[in-house]
Structure 1
Amino acid sequence: MNNLWKNIKKFPLFLIAVFIGFFLTTIQPFFKLLKNNKNKVLIPIIMTIIFVIIYNILRLMLEIK
């Protein structure tokens, strides 16, 4: 039973490490794209459009005015 509680105490750290790893592997291709000068302008525009679309979808789903 003692081993169970040790594992339960380690779970939040594991969960944080998984989230950090997920975001780092997701964002890494964007940093590679930023090395090209053409993409330095294109990437922020695309990310802004995606953010605006997600914001509007959530606003409409949650009926926030």
Structure 2
Amino acid sequence: MSNFWVNLYKFPRFLINVLIGFFLTTFQPIFKLLKNKKDKLLVTTTITITIVLFYRIMQLITDSI
């Protein structure tokens, strides 16, 4: 039974490591694109449009409730 509690105690650290790994592997290609000046404008424009669209969609959903 003590092995169960040891594993349960390690779970939060494992979860944090998985989340950090997810974000690092997700954003690494974006950071590589930001090194080139031509791609920097494209990436920032795409990210900005995506955030604005997501915000507007969420706003419309909450207004309809």
Instruction: Give the TM-score normalised by the residue count of structure 2.
Output: 0.86
Q: 2:18 — aligned with what? A: 18
Runs (4+) of structure 1 exceeding 6 A deviation are none
Identical positions, percent:
55
Aligned-partner Cα distance in 2 for 1:11–1:35: 36
Aligned-partner Cα distance in 2 for 1:62–1:7: 41
Q: What do the CA deviations read for 1:30-51 (whole angstroms, capped 9, x no partner)? A: 1111121101111111101111
Task: Output aligned runs, 1:1-65, within 5 Å.
Answer: 1-63=1-63
How many residues align structurally? 64
Aligned-partner Cα distance in 2 for 1:24–1:59: 29
CA RMSD after TM alignment: 1.5
Structure 2: tracts of 5 or more residues without a match = none
Point out the more displaced range, 35-44 or 12-21. 35-44
Instruction: Give the TM-score normalised by the residue count of structure 1.
Output: 0.86
